[in-house]
Amino acid sequence: MRKGIEYPGVSIVYFCHDGKGNFVMAKRNQNTRDEHNKWDIGGGGLEFGEKVEENLKKEIKEEYCADVIEYEFLGYNDVHRTHNGEKTHWVALEFKVLIDPEKVAIGEPHKFNKIGWFTLNNFPKKLHSEVPGFFKRYGDRLK
């Protein structure tokens, strides 16, 4: 059975920041599943048997080369989309995560071709389709 297509998948989504009003995003390249050349805050699928906190730390280390200093669970999002003509369903567990900006680098160059630091008043154009909703849901909690 295919996760997210034949049954709901669980994803861990994270908004990584430096504690000073700046947050990091990665620009997806042609090797990602979808939304090529769009800026994303970060996330990954939860694997069977893996604890949520372990997945959060693992994914951030893989994508941004940074360790989690502290994190806050913000909530969840029921994500219904269509991918390659098939309906998908993911439950996204969403977090705000403090990381050390000095450690941040592209950890998965096969998926991302650029990273950047932004503020909530100055984020890039061409965002992943789920990112505006994330900002809307959590607004002031991201500051």
Question: For 97-143, what is each residue's pLDDT tens digit?
Answer: 999 999 999 999 999 999 999 999 998 999 999 999 999 999 889 98
**Looking at the predicted structure, is the pLDDT value of residue 33 above 90?**
no
Q: 65 pLDDT band (50/70/90 cuts)?
A: very high
pLDDT at residue number 132: 95
| Cα–Cα dist 41/39, whole Å | 7
Q: Which pair of structure tokens corresponds to residue 27?
A: 């620009």
| Cα–Cα dist 60/43, whole Å | 8
SS3 142: helix
Share of the chain above pLDDT 70, in %: 100
Q: Is 48 exposed, middle or buried (0-12, 13-18, 19+ CB in 10 A)?
A: exposed
CATH number of 9-142: 3.90.79.10
Share of the chain above pLDDT 90, in %: 92
Tokens 């042609």, located at residue = 30
- Averaged pLDDT, 57-66: 98
DSSP output for 48-107: TT--HHHHHHHHHHHHHS--EEEEEEEEEEEEEEEETTEEEEEEEEEEEEEE-GGG---S
**Looking at the predicted structure, is the pLDDT value of residue 15 above 90?**
yes
